[in-house]
Every structure is written in structure tokens, then in C-alpha cells.
Amino acid sequence: MLALLAALAGCAVQTPRLLGAPPADLPLRVELTATPFFPQEEYQCGPAALATALSAIGLPTRPEALVDRVFLPGRQGSLQIEMLAGARGRGAVATRIPGTLEAVMRETHEGNPVVVLQNLGLSWAPSWHYAVVIGYDLDAGHFVLRSGPMERQELPFSTFEHTWDRGGHWAFVITPPGALPATASETEATQALVAFEHNAPSHAAARAYQGALARWPDNLTLAMGLGNTLYAQGDKSNAAGVFRDAAQRHDDAAAYNNLAMVLLELGRRDEARHAAERAVSLGGPFQAQAADTLRRVNE
């Protein structure tokens, strides 16, 4: 019974619904014709797809320049995590988008090419492939991709869904810092930006956090990211403002701790003491750090 169900799970379920009742706010046809094309070298669809998406947002990149970063010669392929890291290494934010065909369509409508992982073979005999979706045609029922050696591949919705389904519905969009994919969830966007901060110069990371906070003002991680990156740039007074706002909004120990440290460096020792005391009394996973901060404030 279970084996049968597992077999059934491979059916294209999104395509009939989508073609039967397409979202009213999406145009019938989208094609990002200005997206550059890099015909892939042997097995190197990963670097080619990534170079395509990077160049499309104004970061001209040749696939050869990415090979060292994202290609594993022994596996004749690229790891998903390294595809995201490779984009960050070039100064772009790489955000995963929901695994729905509608999200892919919506992103192309917003002008964002979508990098997708496909399994062109069968689940038990996989043939992994990265390609870039640049549009769709609802009347003809196909997606348009830059894929491998093909500059313009028309792939029927159901075929695309099958191959993408077997790739785990994995897709991401590359944006310049400050912008985010329209369909990205708060969780995915936050994850993408924390990772971006890890690789990026602090001014770019600050801009990225600022953009995301405009969309999700209640997100503590984003606020902390903005405060930390402003601080890293040496902009202590604005960092203090951001930490204070986050501390009050979320009554959070980490925010109070960072506020206290920045205030102390600004020479506002009394305010710093208040913040540090609050951080200590809130406890939690950063208890030790908060106690340390309070000790410094009282030195």
C-alpha cells in the first residue's frame, strides 16, 4: 500500500490546477529576453546557471570564474548549498523561494530569473541539472528556460513539474542587496540575509537588512542584523537606535546586551547600565554574555 502511494506521489498535481485556473493577476505570457545566456561546458550547468542569474541582475560574471567556487570535479556537479554561497560570494543575496509553480511564474513576472534544480532522469537513476527559468506561456502551456546548451528551451508545464518535483522543488532567486524575491517567506528571507551578512561587506549587509525590515518590521533577527552591521561600519549612534528599538519591541536579552555595549562605547554609561541590567534579568541563552557586559559597564 505504501509503495503504491509512493509511486503515486510522482504525479503532476500543480499543472492541471494552474492551467485550469491561472492566477488572475499574472499575465498570460512572460519572457525575460534580456537574460544572458552561457552555453554550459561539460557537466558544468551549475556555474552556467549561476552566471546567468548573476549577470541578469547587473553583476557580469563568466561561468569559468565560478567553477572553482561551485563545481566539484569528482562529483561532476555543483552542490545546492554552494550555489547559494557562490552567489553571496559575488555580492548578491540568494533566497530560496516556495516550491510552487506559481511562485516560479510570479518571480519571472517580477523580472527575476529563477534558478531551479531538476532531476531529468528518474528518482532511482537521477540526472541532476541546474537551469534558469526566464518565463512561461500559459496558452501554450510551457515554461521558457536557459538550460545547458539550449538558449531557449520550451518545457511543458507538466514535464517541468515532474523534473522539478524530483529535484525536491528546489529553486532560488538572486537579488542585489536591498531587494528580495516577491514570493520569499519571512523565514527563508531571514536565513538568506544572515548568510549574506556572513560573506558580505557590512554596508551591503546593512542595506539588505534595511530592505527586509521594511517588509517584516517585527522580525527580531533582521533588526539585530541591521544593528550589528551598522555597528561593524562604525555607525554606533544609529546602531544604538536600532538595538533600542528592537529591545523595546521584543523585550529581548540579546538586543539589550548589544544596546548596552554600544552605549558604553558611546560613553553613555548610565543608560548602558540600565540596558545591561535588563539583559541579565531576562536571562536565556545569552545569560553569560549579558553578565559579562554588565561587569564591563560597572568597571
Residues in contact with other proteins by CB under 8 A are 2, 5-6, 8-11, 13-14, 17, 99-100, 123, 165-170, 185, 187, 190-191, 194, 197-198, 220-221, 224-225, 228-229, 231, 254, 257-258, 261-262, 284-286, 288-289, 292-293, 296
**Residue at grid coordinates 527559468:** 133
Report how far residue 198's alpha carbon sits from residue 216's, in angstroms, rounded to the nearest whole number.
21
118-128 burial, b for 16+ CB within 10 Å, e for fewer?
Answer: bbbeeeeeeeb
Q: What's the N-to-C CA distance of the chain in angstroms?
A: 69
Looking at the Cβ atoms of 100 and 238, the one nearer to other proteins is 100
Looking at the Cβ atoms of 153 and 190, the one nearer to other proteins is 190
Looking at the Cβ atoms of 57 and 275, the one nearer to other proteins is 275
Which grid coordinates belong to 35?
A: 537574460
Taking the complex as a whole, the smallest distance from the CB of residue 1 to other proteins amounts, in Å, to: 8
Taking the complex as a whole, the smallest distance from the CB of residue 198 to other proteins amounts, in Å, to: 7
Using DSSP, state whether 232 is helix, strand or coil.
helix
Taking the complex as a whole, the smallest distance from the CB of residue 156 to other proteins amounts, in Å, to: 18
Taking the complex as a whole, the smallest distance from the CB of residue 99 to other proteins amounts, in Å, to: 7
Report how far residue 68's alpha carbon sits from residue 160's, in angstroms, rounded to the nearest whole number.
29
Looking at the Cβ atoms of 198 and 269, the one nearer to other proteins is 198
Looking at the Cβ atoms of 54 and 204, the one nearer to other proteins is 204
Report how far residue 160's alpha carbon sits from residue 136's, in angstroms, rounded to the nearest whole number.
11
Taking the complex as a whole, the smallest distance from the CB of residue 237 to other proteins amounts, in Å, to: 15
